[in-house]
Amino acid sequence: MLHLLLHIIVPGLVAWLFFRKDWVKVSLIMVATYLVDLDHLLATPMYDPDRCGIGFHPLHSYWAIGVYFLMLFYKPMRIVALGLLIHMALDYIDCF
């Protein structure tokens, strides 16, 4: 449950700290990157509490994370990229 809350709290906090003027809009965009978890629908079983999603699900692969990092340098995609990277970092915590 804490993991799911962090996917809302952390993007909101980052948006408030660094994008104060448009923090609500920015936080909603970053929270929307939670849709990246649709790739869990391809897994069998869909949810496994003992599985590390990083490197397992297609949109959580190291290649995808590299693309998300490169997206930081394309200004129109910067907020989406930041949201995706925050999402991957939070998911990576579950691997320990």
Q: What is the pLDDT of residues 15-29, one digit of tens each?
A: 999 999 999 999 999
pLDDT tens digits along 28-87: 999 999 999 999 999 888 888 888 999 999 999 999 999 999 999 999 999 999 999 999
pLDDT tens digits along 48-62: 888 899 999 999 999
> 87, 7 in Cβ contact below 8 A?
yes
Sign of CA dihedral 38, 36, 20, 5: positive
pTM flag (> 0.75): yes
